[in-house]
Amino acid sequence: MVRHLYDPNDTCTFKKLASLSISVKQALPWSGMERDARRDCVPGLKSINRKRSDMISMIPEETVLLIHLGGLGDMCLSESTILSLSQRFDGKIHGLGYTRFLGLFREYFAAVHAIESARWLYLFSDDPSRVSWKRIIFIGKDRNGEMRKRWQSMSRDRLIFIEMYPDEAFSDQRFPVGGIGTQADLPLHIEDYQLAQLKAYCIKTVKKTVIPRPRHRALLYPETGFAKSKWHPDNFVQLYHRLKKRNLNVSIFESFGLKLDTPEKLSIEDLSDMEKCFEDGGIFVSNDSGMAHLAGSCGLTTITVFSDFDPALWHPRGDNIALRQGMDRVDVPALEALITGLMEPGT
């Protein structure tokens, strides 16, 4: 099984993997000598592998497979790309990834498959595969081209590769070049960066419209994370109490791995339940996180505190106010005033 090496709710998965320099082979088991040893030691494994191949062969011959191994934020930023591809292939795409995230966008797929299932290990094996697809689409990172070479051998038509983000997205440069027909001094948001690549495959781009929802409440989402520079959970608790004193409609969430000493806290673990919660609208206040991207894609106004990455590239879609620590005023009174102003009549 492919195991998560991160909190799946916390910021964009591929951003973390890149910053930690985790390679594909580190993240995926059963390769090389270890795989061969298991094959020799486990009786009947060849028969099991044949059954897996037979299960996959039951999928229609003309099926297009889209592989997206990103986390929650990555999926939200790729929604327009997936929408464009779904329309190009008449909704006949099978999606492969982490179903907790991919399942939020099930409307674009004929079927969604879990990468955690052992039936997909052949995709990452060095051995030749008997399985082929009409076409494979890969949205991700592949700096040395190994995955593209492997998956092209399983794709009867030309493989479609959409680079998830530019390498410059993690440099110290504040405004990296988009690299595809953009002015050198302007950044290209990740959504636009991906869409621009579809032109090379003569695929019409469709940008998903985010419909704004009412701003009648504030939703505060503190969290723990890798970066010590994140806006601290205590700040969110103070902000919550100050907004409460103003008699504003405000809620605070207890996110994954966090313990809040606040009786009124909300705890929602299932992403589909969180998506339903967002249907009522609001102002979502958080650090740069996957949940911020989900809130933005659901039409909430997002106030997002950035500490490590350039918001010009990574900000949530929709109506977003990005605050940079060390550059903007990011303190409890400032956010209190900002939220109060947004919730006033006529905003």
259 with 330, same domain: the answer is yes
pLDDT value of residue 330? 95
234 with 176, same domain: the answer is no
Report if residue 285 sits inside a domain. Answer: yes
| C-beta of residue 29 within 8 angstroms of C-beta of residue 98 | no
Report if residue 3 sits inside a domain. Answer: no
Model-wide pTM > 0.95: no
| C-beta of residue 71 within 8 angstroms of C-beta of residue 12 | yes
Within 10 angstroms of residue 2's Cβ, the number of other Cβ atoms is 18
**Of 201, 236, 257, the domain-final residue:** 201
Structure-model confidence comparison of residues 315 and 169, the more confident one: 315
Place of tokens 């970066």: 227
86 with 190, same domain: the answer is yes
Burial per residue of 91-130, b for 16 or more beta-carbon CB atoms within 10 angstroms, e otherwise: eebbbbbbbbbbbbbeebbbebbbbeeebbbbbbeeeeee
- The pair of structure tokens assigned to 159 is 């493989």
- Enter the DSSP assignment of 299: T
Structure-model confidence comparison of residues 184 and 159, the more confident one: 159
Q: Which domain holds residue 337?
A: 218-342
52 with 174, same domain: the answer is yes
CA nearest neighbour of 271 among 9, 7, 49:
9
108 with 187, same domain: the answer is yes
63 with 131, same domain: the answer is yes
Report if residue 233 sits inside a domain. Answer: yes
Q: How large a percentage of the chain has pLDDT more than 70? A: 75
Instruction: Tell me the CB-side half-sphere exposure of residue 106, using CA atoms within 13 A.
Output: 10
- 327 burial class (0-12, 13-18, 19+ CB within 10 angstroms)? exposed
- Non-local (6+) Cβ contacts of 335 within 8 A are 239, 285, 303, 323
| C-beta of residue 222 within 8 angstroms of C-beta of residue 206 | no
CATH classification at residue 328: 3.40.50.2000
Q: Torsions phi, psi of 236, nearest 5?
A: -65, -40
pLDDT value of residue 36? 37
pLDDT value of residue 185? 56
29 with 143, same domain: the answer is yes
The domain total for the chain is: 2
- What's the pLDDT band for 186 if we cut at 50, 70, 90? low
Report if residue 231 sits inside a domain. Answer: yes
36 with 175, same domain: the answer is yes
pLDDT, tens digit, for every residue of 46-58? 444 454 444 555 5
132 with 281, same domain: the answer is no
Average pLDDT, the chain: 82
Place of tokens 């989402």: 221
Report if residue 167 sits inside a domain. Answer: yes
183 with 261, same domain: the answer is no
194 with 226, same domain: the answer is no
Report if residue 209 sits inside a domain. Answer: no
- Specify the amino acid at residue 194: Q
DSSP helix/strand/coil, 1: coil
**Of 150, 170, 201, the domain-final residue:** 201
Report if residue 210 sits inside a domain. Answer: no
Report if residue 213 sits inside a domain. Answer: no
44 with 133, same domain: the answer is yes
How far apart CA 335 and CA 285 sit, in angstroms, is: 9
